[in-house]
Structure 1
């Protein structure tokens, strides 16, 4: 039976139908619904995150505006302006005392510097060095506040020197009545003030939050080593720094998908930026989606298994019938299908059983007819051998009588009687290999008398082969063939060996002689159904070959290997299954 490819199987087709009509739509709807819900929730989460950054930006903007207003209070102070107009009348301590009055009212201001015409007055923390070029930063200023980038300063506290990061508000001191320019005012605040304002937004180690100026220079960062560096190389930097939106977000990829949420501080245009991976930002959404997809997947699996179960349930009877048909194809007509069903499949099973029963009856009838034909053929073949062999034997006795005395004739007649006892026993078609060997031995006795002991026969028979039953009179024609072609009319000495052994399920018997071999023309005619009145061997080998094929099948019989001048090997192959133990 032709093997069905797996993708043509009925069960597979039913499974595909289930997937296409049920599972795929369910999965598609689940994915579409999940993505829609995720997009909605994602937008809500993003809006919430933007709002929190925006509120933090407002908070920082309030701090910066407060400092700007405080600077306005200082530069518009009448007492300070009077001292600046008449600077030569006041000493260093006078300026420090005036500035101290301002700084003591604020906890968030670390240092106030007053710089004018090369002289500098400072109150608050003691800075060892100054990192600013005031004139350059305020060159284009007309009195409005200027926010300078955060710098690291060396501060002397008690007997030690410490590093601190300050962001600075600087502005020119101008008398708005006279427009006289008196110098510069710098208010220094510790960068920690800014960090404390946004620190609450850092809720995971993968979150980065910082403040940068318009040029992308970082003003405040939890990692102080990044203060003063630029974000220009970041993938989101250009879009954030050039955006006209005060509050928004940018999605980008930096090994993993990330979002940069930003808000602009109105006071000075600084940006507060929060970068976070989308995996963390949408962690809860992703979990919901996973559970939703898992539920849809499990539902699809259940549907598929349900369909597979029913496909197996309804195709199992057909699979049983298919197995029965396979066995029938192999020749087993005793099998029957067991399909118990009240539908069309049950009727099909009953019809199959009836058909096999009819086939069995017909084949048994044909087997009996064929067996009868074989018996007739075997009887005809036996009848063909016996008269011809008797002729040859009597012819041998004639030659012995001419050459020798009565003893040789007696021995020859005794051997002939033994031979005739087996060959004329038509009631037995099978004899043991041991009996067949005895038959050959008696035959050789006669042939030795004929050829003056010029024949030497050796036996190499496995002991476990002697009890096997074989077709009667199959060795003698082969040995006779060896003698006829081995000695001929020259009466040369001839050595013959008979070897028997089993190979798997086969019985192999090899008859080897050291005669001159058989010419190709004669070898081609040996298995042809032609008679030769002069030499019976050709008829005998053909007879043996046909009988073996009738007993064992067309794959068994004789095989001849010969070479002129190098002898002949005849190999007999019988099926052990068809040979029985006596």
Structure 2
């Protein structure tokens, strides 16, 4: 046995004179590689093994693969001395006139006859033209019967040459000859069956073990060989099933995301009516006080706010329209509370027509007014600019600020049960579902100085 590092592991009944560990250059090794590592018989060993005496022997070779990843681990080489087979032949007939040998389809000897003085060329020529059976042949005044049997190994044939002079004496041994031939065939068939069993059932056990891994929740595809056989096709079908299951799981997760988005939309729909109720209540109060100009401004601002926020049921709005929505929102707040909320805008021209998720800035401005400025006067600044394939929104105020603990609570959603941070946390969830950004919001704040909220979203290409 030869491993991948030119190490040799061996067991002998007859110690060889030489073993060449560098088998990669041997013709049989190249043939084995081209056959995908499958086993086969051949004559000699191409200089791999040399014995002290008789070097006439047969070899069987095949690759041994790793049971985990099916990569080659070693090469197995088994030698068969031709004297073993000749020993079986001698049990049929010890008469030197009766010879047995093995040839290939070209008439070359695989195992030579023991009798070297006689000319077997004519017998071999006759044997080449006989598939299975026998034929009477005359050769240099000698009458013989040439019998052939296909061995089922490569293109080898077993040839028997029987002298007609001794044919009568051979009659009792015909059954023995047949039995020996059948025995040799059975030995080779058994060997081939064992190898086929090793090549089929062992890979099937590996597939079974991999299925158990998948059953435990690890959806890993199996390595697939380049060989085109039933085992490889089974692995391909199994891998296709794994990929289909993973696709189905992804589809279920996407549906769960849609359901979660629907729940957020319901929550968001509950926020807007509250704002509408308070605004209409303020308008009715202005009407009773006959504040016609303020009442007109507030109704117009409310109409513009809902015109942009509703956006005909679409989820996306231009940055320019989103800023217009905020302008209307600030107008409503200044009219309702008579506050002096000063707001400034720094919007890059290149992003004004970019489409973004609607009502993206409103929760930030609402948070700045009600929690940053505490409903009193103050300054709010909004900046919007692009950065590569992203759009950055920055909303800052000069209000009371907040502690690091409160920032962590807002980002983690631990304050959503109360009023503080609810709209901001809802916005974070909407951006995560829409843009696939895990952490889209950064809050920077200092108590007594103010707060700055940075929102990052991706540019989207809207279908025309």
Tell me the TM-score normalized by structure 2: 0.50
| Structure with higher RCO (Cα < 8 A, 6+ apart) | 1
Larger relative helix fraction: 1
Tell me the TM-score normalized by structure 1: 0.41
Q: Which has the larger radius of gyration?
A: 1
